A and B are shown apart, each in its own frame.
Chain A
Amino acid sequence: MKLTQLSVFLENKQGRLYEVCALLGKNKINIRALTVAESEEFGILRIVVDKPESAMRVLKKNGFTANLTDIVAVEVGDHPGGLAGILKILFAGNINVEYMYGFVEKFSDNALLVFRFEDINKAIKVLGKNKIRIVGKKEVDNL
C-alpha cells in the first residue's frame, strides 16, 4: 500500500529544478506528482515517479543527493469538504501529517493526494478501518 517517493536536495539556484526534470525526462522517467518544500537557501523536491529506483540511480550518478521515502496515496472525493473529511479521521485517530500534496492527474473522478505521516503503518490502519481508499503502485502507474 505504500508508495515510494523520491526526495532531492536542491540549492535555491536558478535552473536546478529544470536540470532534475530534464534528466528524468531524458531517461524516460515519468513524474506523477511533485511538490517543492522551500527554505531560505535550499529546497527539497519531492516527486512520485513511475520508476523510483532507476530515477534514484540516475540522479545519484549525476551528483544529486536524493533518498527514498515511504508515502501513501489517498483517494479524496473531489467535492467541498472531501479533504476535511479525511483529515478529521486522521485527527480522531491521532495521526500526525508531516506534509501532503496532490497528484497531477485525477484518479477516476476523485482527487489523489500524497500523504507523509509520522507513523505510516498506524495511518494505513486508521485509513483502512475508515474505508478510505489507498491507491497502490500499479494503479498509480496506470494513471
Chain B
Amino acid sequence: MIWNERMECMASGELKEYQSERLKRTVDYIYNNSPLYKKKLDACGVDLALIKGIDDIGKLPFTAKDDIRDAYPFGLFSQPLENITEIHVSSGTTGNPTVVGYTKEDVKLWSEVMARALCCAGAKPGDMVQNAYGYGLFTGGLGVHYGALEMRLTIIPSSSGQTKRQLKLMSDFKPRILTCTPSYCLYMAEEAREIGLDPRKSSWEIGVFGAEPWSESMRKEIESSWNLLATDIYGLSEIVGPGVAQECRHKKGLHIWWDVFYPEIINPKTGKHVKEGEPGELVITTLTKLGMPLLRYRTRDIVSINYDICKCGRTSPRISKITGRTDDMIIVRGINVFPSQIEHVLLGIEGTKPHYQLVVDREAGKLDELEILVEVEHKIFSDEIKQLRIFEERITREIESVLGVSAKVKLVEPKTIERSEGKAKRVVDKRVK
C-alpha cells in the first residue's frame, strides 16, 4: 500500500513544478518571517528574484548546524512561539543544543511522512506497532507515534529499554510491526533466547530500524534471528525527525519524500554537487515546513543518491545507507555523541583536562558499549579505592546526564592512550562495519 499515491508516484516532470513552486514560496516565506534568515540571505547577496525554480536551488546559501545553534533558542523560527505547538531538542557538541519548533501544520506534515514511511515498510491498516524508540525530546518515539496515529494503527508506546517487558508485550499483544534501533533489536534477540523465547516465532513481521548506521550484514542477522523484514528509516530532528526517507520492501535504498524534503548531494569540501551516484554530503531543503523551515541544510551524513524509478512504483529518488560523517560524531545506541561533550564533562569535574578516549564496541547480540578511558594523573589520584570509585561515578553520572547515554568509565595509567603526533586519538570504534 502507498499512503499518498498521488505525491509519491507523481511523474518527475509534474513534481518538479510542485518543487519549484514550493521552493519559491519557502524562500519568500523565510525571507519575510525569519529576521535572521533575512540577514543571512541579504549578506550573501543572492537576488531572490533569480530563484525561479528548483534548478536554481544551488544559488542559495547553505545552512549549517551552527546556524541553528547560534540562533539558540528560537532565533531560526519563522513563527512566533504561540504558533509553535511542539519543541524538540537534540544535544549539541558542547555549546547550545539544537532546537526545532513545530507548528500544528508541521506536526501534521510529520504525521504524514511517517505514515508514508510505515506504509512504505509494509504496514497496513489494522496493524499493531510496538514502538520501542525512546519517547521525549528525542524525535524517534513521538515521530513513529504520530505516523501510526495518522494511519490509525494500534500503538503500544513501549518506549526504549526494559527488554523483558518489551518481549512480554510482544508475546501478549502480538504486534506485527516493531520500531527501534537495529542494535536494540539484536539485543532483544539475545535476551529472548536467554528467557527461552524463540525469536524466530515472534509476532513481528516488519521492522522499521533507524537512528544509527547499520550494515547489510547486520540486516541479515536481524532478519534471520527474528524472521522478519528489516527496513531502514532515515531522519534528523532538524528536518522533521524520523520519516525523511524510508526503504520499501525491495530494500534498494531509502525513498526520500522529495516533494517536501528536497535532497542534494555535495562535496563537503567544495560545496559543489557531486556527479550522480557518487557519495557526498546530504543537503536537504524543507519545502513545506512553517515553524522552522531550512534552506540547504547540511546534514553531515555521507550518502549517495539513485534517481532510477523503483520497482515499488514510487518515483522518489533513493538515498543509500549512511556511509560516514563529515564530523567526529558517533552514534551510541541511537544517541548522537560528540567527543567534545566528554571533554567538557571532564573539564568541569576536575578543572584539568586529562587524556581520554571513547571506545565504542558492540559484542554480538549486545547493545553498544561506550567506554571512556581516563588517564589517572597525579591530580586525580588518591590512594583510596573509595575515592577513585567516587571519581569514576561522578564522571559516569555527569556523562549520563549530558549525553543521555550510559558509559563505563575506566581509569587507566598515564600514557596508555594512543597518541598520534602528540594528540590523543579520541575515538576508537570497534563495532563491525
Contact = CB atoms under 8 A, between A and B. Distances in A.
Interface in B242-263: none
A65 B385 contact: no
Instruction: Determine the main DSSP class of A at the interface with B.
Output: strand
Contacts of B383: 5, 7, 44, 46, 67, 69
Given A9-B411, A42-B411, A65-B378, A37 B416 contact: no
Q: Which of the four size classes fits the interface of chain B?
A: 10 to 19
B376 A65 contact: yes
Interface in A50-109: 60, 63-67, 69, 98
Contacts of A42: 376, 388, 411-412
Instruction: Indicate the member of A7, A11, A64, A65 with the most B CB atoms within 10 Å.
Output: A65
A5 B210 CA distance: 54
Contacts of B411: 9, 11, 41-42
Q: Which of the four size classes fits the interface of chain A?
A: 20 to 34
B390 to A, nearest CB: 12
B415 A63 contact: yes
A39 B389 CA distance: 9
Given A65-B376, A65-B377, A65-B378, A37 B413 contact: no
Contacts of A63: 413-415
Interface in B357-378: 376-378
A106 to B, nearest CB: 26
A113 interface: no
A10 B413 contact: yes
B82 interface: no
Contacts of B416: 11
Interface of B: 376-378, 380-385, 388-389, 410-416
Closest 6 CB pairs of A and B: A7-B383, A65-B381, A69-B383, A65-B376, A63-B415, A9-B376
Interface of A: 5, 7, 9-11, 16, 37, 39, 41-42, 44, 46, 60, 63-67, 69, 98
